[in-house]
Amino acid sequence: MTKKRKTPKICLISSSGGHFEQLKMLDVLSENYDVFWVTENADYGVSADYLMRQTRPSRIANLIIMIFNFMLAIKIWMKERPDYVITTGTLVALPMAILAKVFKKKLVFIETFARIYDGTRAGKLMYKHADLFIVQWESLKEIYPEAVFGGSIY
């Protein structure tokens, strides 16, 4: 018999840099939920539970990195088994987003604060698949009409 977890588990994942800094604003979630962090292994060092490979400008290199990251994401998923995946993007979050949909878990995408009038490529991809899509600027409701305006997470 499998013991059911009482506290939902949340995967917070994004690329390193500004996306991860925005996501870190949600650290308060760890007060009430079981949270784990995933980001890219950056040259300047970041603090996260799991580090994935950083994507590169080369499309061929990105394909190889994405295959590696997807295999790593499966390993992380099987160990952690999150109920929610929350991301501010970018490409590094794609494997976890796919796994969330495959395992019928909730996917939450927060469009980056840096975009005021136009959406990101990641946002446009995730918009169709996210269970909850949040924008930080009211003006982005024109791009994402079904999005929820959540205001700034800063």
Is residue 92 within 8 Å of 13, Cβ to Cβ?
yes
pLDDT in tens, 33-64: 999 999 999 777 778 999 999 887 677 888 89
pLDDT in tens, 7-31: 999 999 999 989 999 999 999 999 9
Domains of the chain: 9-149 (3.40.50.2000)
Quick one: three-class SS letters along 6-64? Answer: CCCEEEEEECCCHHHHHHHHHHHHHHCCEEEEEEECCCCCCCCCEEECCCCCCHHHHHH
**pTM, to two decimals:** 0.91
